[in-house]
C-alpha cells in the first residue's frame, strides 16, 4: 500500500511540475505512468483499495492541474509566459491628463454617436456623449472623467 501511495504522490507531483516547466510532455507522461502504477499496485492489495485509488485519482488529478495552473504565473517560465496586463491605475490604461479636462470646452471632430473624438485643450481626446448624438464641429464641454471615459455634453450655441 505504501508503494501505491508513493507512486500516486509522485504522479501528482510530476503533473504539477509539467505545468511549471516546459518538458514537452516528458514529466506529464512520467506522472501518468506513476499514477497508473499506483492504481495497479492498489488493485494488487485488493479490489476495494484499487477502486478507492481510482476515485482518488479522478479527484486529485484535476486538483493537481488546477494547482499547477495557479502556480504557473509565479514560476520562472510562467513569468515570461503570462502578461501582467494593464489596470485602471496604470498610465497605459488611463491618460492622466484627462483628469484635468473636467469643465473644459472643445470641438467635436466627428459625429459623436455616442463615441467619437473631440479637440479639447489643444489635443485629440476620445470622448463619449451621454447617449445623444452630437454633430461634428459642435462645441462640447467635459462633464465627467471616470477611469478611461471622458464624458461630454453639447454646449448650446448662443442665439443671435
SS (H, E, C) 10-72: HHHHHHHHHHHCCCCCHHHHHHHHHHHHHHHHHHHHCHHHHHHHHHHHHHHHHHHHHHHHHHH
Contacts 24+ apart (CB under 8 A), 110-114: 110/136, 111/135, 111/136, 112/140, 112/152
Q: What is the pLDDT of residues 30-70, one digit of tens each?
A: 999 999 999 999 999 999 999 999 999 999 999 999 998 88
Cell digits of residue 66: 488546477
More confident residue, 108 or 98: 108
Give me the pLDDT at residue 88, please: 55
Buried b (16+ CB within 10 A) or exposed e, 127-156: bbbeeeebeeebbbbbeebeeeebbbebee
Q: Average pLDDT, stretch 10-24? A: 90
R_g over Cα of the chain: 30
Q: How confident is the model at residue 119 (pLDDT cuts 50, 70, 90)?
A: very high
Q: Above pLDDT 90, what percent of the chain?
A: 65
The answer to whether the bond into 114 is cis (omega within 30° of 0) is yes
Q: What is the pLDDT of residues 131-150, one digit of tens each?
A: 899 999 999 999 999 878 89
Indicate the burial class of 116 (C-beta count within 10 angstroms; 0-12, 13-18, 19 or more): buried
Amino acid at each position: 500500500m505504501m508503494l501505491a501511495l508513493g507512486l500516486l504522490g509522485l504522479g501528482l507531483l510530476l503533473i504539477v511540475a509539467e505545468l511549471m516547466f516546459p518538458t514537452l510532455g516528458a514529466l506529464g507522461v512520467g506522472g501518468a505512468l506513476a499514477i497508473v502504477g499506483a492504481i495497479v499496485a492498489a488493485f494488487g492489495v485488493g479490489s476495494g483499495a484499487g477502486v478507492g485509488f481510482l476515485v482518488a485519482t479522478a479527484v486529485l488529478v484535476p486538483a493537481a492541474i488546477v494547482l499547477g495552473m495557479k502556480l504557473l504565473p509565479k514560476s520562472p517560465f510562467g513569468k515570461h509566459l503570462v502578461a501582467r496586463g494593464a489596470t485602471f491605475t496604470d498610465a497605459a490604461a488611463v491618460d492622466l491628463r484627462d483628469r484635468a479636462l473636467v469643465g473644459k470646452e472643445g470641438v467635436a471632430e466627428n459625429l459623436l454617436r455616442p463615441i467619437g473624438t473631440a479637440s479639447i485643450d489643444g489635443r485629440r481626446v476620445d470622448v463619449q456623449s451621454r447617449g445623444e448624438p452630437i454633430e461634428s464641429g459642435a462645441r462640447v464641454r467635459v462633464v465627467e472623467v471616470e477611469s478611461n471615459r471622458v464624458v461630454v455634453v453639447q454646449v448650446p450655441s448662443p442665439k443671435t
